[in-house]
């Protein structure tokens, strides 16, 4: 571990990074003390991810200097960074899902017995780390069978396994329940006692003020300030991040729900355990929220409505007519669209352009003759997505993977709007998106409802559900525990219903 006498375990000084046509970072500095949590905040596109990629050697910086544990470093890749004691828990989980938990933790550095992998030692070492972190997952389980929150915990355990001196946590609580967040915070407190420096990237203000010692704020690729967390308030952080005051977190509601357009009756998934006997109605111009704890099968319900999961029994009626969404293609034809929770694995084509990712769900509209695509129409629609969603990108041809997570999400939402859906299914639509961009998404959701679209929105953020929706369906262990009017309910009532079954 790092010596406690060192003033800083990590110093990034005057980092500048240029891409063709854009300066992504300009003279940005970050100094992290050992045994502290240092929050890194800024809107999507502010340069947080680019700065971390410079630290990890994914990008080579054009100017600046990095000191780690008192020595100047310039890691050439993330493997080198990991081997030297700098690790990262990514928001977008990048795991080998068909392999076991312990395989994922020790990939590339398996313990050996002669020329063979020492399975017993790998199992015991994984179990030891899990025990120290109070994680209860079988190391032999296949990663694909884990929940998102369990995958997140595996990544944290992997970072700890490297004996790291600095751990970067990128939106680590975005998929965790309140109880799991407390567990994570307990782990962080233990890491602090071991003199490990934590760089904590999050858009959740309450978390930042609760867990952080210091906060560095970036805006438009530039360093703004570093302050003690004790000196800051939520309003002050927002002002520094966006350069303006946000007097309200949610826009005024202007939609007026009308007649029922979608009726779901006793819907039960074919694969169990999942949801069963779920019934609800969705009105024209209504925003229906879905609340529930992790494991309540909120995502499974949306995926079944969109034809991604088979239905065992129950009916879906659109305008009084029973429909069958047996595949996403059928769902799209019936006017459904789905923005998925896992952006990286199910939302984007990472190596392809912003343009391609904007139009892919609507390709039929661009065909001129046979298989030919109208470049002019496709370019025009991509421009609409970029402008309407306020996507920060150098050009339409930029690979979408080089955009910040929030900008990727904006492209995905814009993509589906091009299909002109009647029913818009949103699974954690603002996950990993900064406060300024969230407001824009909320405005867009409200506007779509005002235009008569029916919107079903899953969210783990209680204030978001209470600030955006008209009614809330509360799921509990795969069952509908109740439907409440948003204006007349409370967080306490929703939590009570969430724990009903």
Which residues have a Cβ under 8 Å from the Cβ of 145 and sit 6 or more positions away? none
What's the start-to-end Cα distance of the chain, in Å?
Answer: 45
pLDDT at 4 over 50: no
Per-residue pLDDT tens over the stretch 305-364: 999 999 999 999 999 999 999 999 999 999 999 998 877 677 788 889 999 999 888 777
Backbone angles phi, psi at 216, to 5 degrees: -105, 130
Instruction: Evaluate whether residue 251 is within a structural domain.
Output: no
Instruction: Evaluate whether residue 4 is within a structural domain.
Output: no
- Helix (H) / strand (E) containing 27: strand 22-32
Instruction: Evaluate whether residue 292 is within a structural domain.
Output: yes
What average pLDDT score do residues 151-164 get?
A: 88
Global pTM value: 0.60
Confidence grade of residue 244 (pLDDT, cut at 50, 70, 90): low
User: Alpha carbon 335 to chain centroid distance?
Assistant: 26
189 and 54 within one domain: yes
149 and 209 within one domain: yes
DSSP-assigned letters across all residues of 283-341: ETT-EEEEE--TTS-HHHHHHHHTTSS-EEEEEEEETTEEE---SHHHHHHTTEEEE-S
Q: For 134-226, where are the alpha helices, taking DSSP H only?
A: 148-161, 178-193, 205-211
Percent with pLDDT over 90 in the chain: 53
Number of domains the chain is built from: 3
Tokens of 387: 């402008």
Per-residue pLDDT tens over the stretch 357-390: 998 887 777 766 666 666 788 888 899 989 888 8
Per-residue pLDDT tens over the stretch 409-450: 889 988 988 888 999 999 998 877 777 778 888 988 998 999
142 and 110 within one domain: yes
Quote the radius of gyration of the chain (alpha carbons, Å): 23
- Among 216, 242, 268, the domain-final residue is 242
192 and 148 within one domain: yes
3-state secondary structure of 447: helix
- Among 362, 388, 419, the domain-final residue is 419
303 and 274 within one domain: yes
CATH number for the domain spanning 460: value is 3.40.50.300
- Helix (H) / strand (E) containing 278: strand 278-283
Instruction: Evaluate whether residue 250 is within a structural domain.
Output: no
**Residues 271-284: b if buried by 16+ CB within 10 A, e if exposed:** eeebbbebebbbbb
229 and 125 within one domain: yes
Domain range enclosing 273: 257-335+421-501
441 and 431 within one domain: yes
pLDDT at 468 over 90: yes
Polymer length in residues for the chain: 501
Euclidean distance between CA atoms 348 and 336, whole angstroms: 18
Q: How far is CA 165 from CA 106, 174, 324, in A?
A: 18, 24, 54
What average pLDDT score do residues 396-408 get?
A: 85
Mean pLDDT of the chain: 88
Euclidean distance between CA atoms 293 and 312, whole angstroms: 24
- Among 419, 436, 454, the domain-final residue is 419
324 and 225 within one domain: no
446 and 380 within one domain: no
Per-residue pLDDT tens over the stretch 13-70: 999 998 876 788 999 999 999 999 999 998 767 888 899 999 999 999 999 999 999 9
């Amino acid at each position: 571990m790092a010596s406690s006498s060192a003033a800083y375990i990590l110093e990034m000084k005057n980092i500048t990074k240029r891409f063709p046509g854009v300066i992504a970072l300009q003279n940005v500095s970050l100094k992290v003390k050992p045994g502290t949590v240092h929050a890194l905040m800024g809107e999507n596109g502010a340069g947080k991810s680019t700065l971390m990629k410079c630290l990890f050697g994914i990008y080579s910086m054009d100017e600046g200097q990095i000191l780690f544990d008192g020595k100047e470093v310039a890691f050439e890749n993330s493997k080198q960074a990991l081997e030297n004691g700098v690790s990262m828990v990514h928001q977008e989980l990048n795991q080998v899902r068909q392999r076991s938990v312990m395989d994922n933790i020790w990939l590339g550095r398996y313990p050996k017995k002669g020329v063979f992998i020492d399975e017993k030692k790998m199992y015991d070492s994984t179990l030891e780390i899990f025990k120290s972190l109070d994680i209860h997952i079988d190391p032999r389980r296949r990663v694909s069978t884990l929940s998102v929150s369990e995958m997140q915990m595996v990544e944290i355990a992997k970072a700890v396994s490297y004996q790291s001196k600095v751990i970067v946590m990128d939106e680590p609580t975005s998929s965790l329940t309140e109880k799991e967040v407390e567990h994570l915070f307990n782990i962080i407190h233990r890491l602090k006692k071991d003199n490990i420096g934590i760089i904590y990237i999050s858009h959740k203000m309450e978390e930042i003020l609760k867990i952080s010692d210091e906060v560095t704020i970036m805006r438009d690729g530039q360093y703004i300030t570093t302050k003690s967390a004790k000196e800051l308030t939520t309003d002050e952080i927002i002002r520094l991040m966006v350069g303006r005051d946000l007097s309200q977190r949610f826009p005024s509601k202007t939609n007026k729900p009308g007649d029922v357009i979608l009726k779901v009756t006793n819907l039960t998934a074919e694969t169990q355990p999942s949801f069963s006997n779920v019934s609800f109605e969705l009105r024209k111009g209504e925003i229906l929220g879905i609340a529930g704890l992790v494991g309540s099968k909120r995502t499974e319900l949306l995926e079944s409505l969109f034809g991604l999961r088979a239905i065992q029994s129950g009916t879906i009626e659109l305008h009084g007519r029973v429909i069958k969404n047996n595949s996403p293609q059928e769902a799209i034809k019936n006017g459904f669209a789905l923005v998925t929770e896992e952006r990286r694995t199910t939302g984007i084509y990472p190596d392809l352009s912003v343009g391609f990712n904007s139009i892919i769900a609507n390709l039929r509209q661009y065909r001129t003759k046979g298989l030919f695509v109208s470049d002019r129409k496709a370019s025009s629609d991509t421009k609409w997505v970029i402008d309407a969603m306020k996507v920060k990108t150098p050009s339409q041809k930029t690979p979408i993977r080089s955009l910040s997570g929030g900008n990727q999400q904006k492209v995905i939402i814009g993509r589906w709007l091009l299909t002109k859906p009647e029913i818009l299914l949103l699974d954690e639509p603002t996950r990993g998106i900064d406060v300024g961009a969230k407001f824009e998404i909320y405005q867009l959701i409200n506007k779509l409802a005002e235009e008569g679209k029916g919107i079903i929105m899953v969210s783990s953020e209680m204030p978001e559900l209470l600030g955006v929706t008209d009614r809330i369906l509360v799921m509990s262990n795969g069952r509908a525990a109740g439907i409440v009017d948003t204006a007349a309910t409370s967080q306490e009532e929703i939590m009570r219903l969430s724990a009903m079954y």
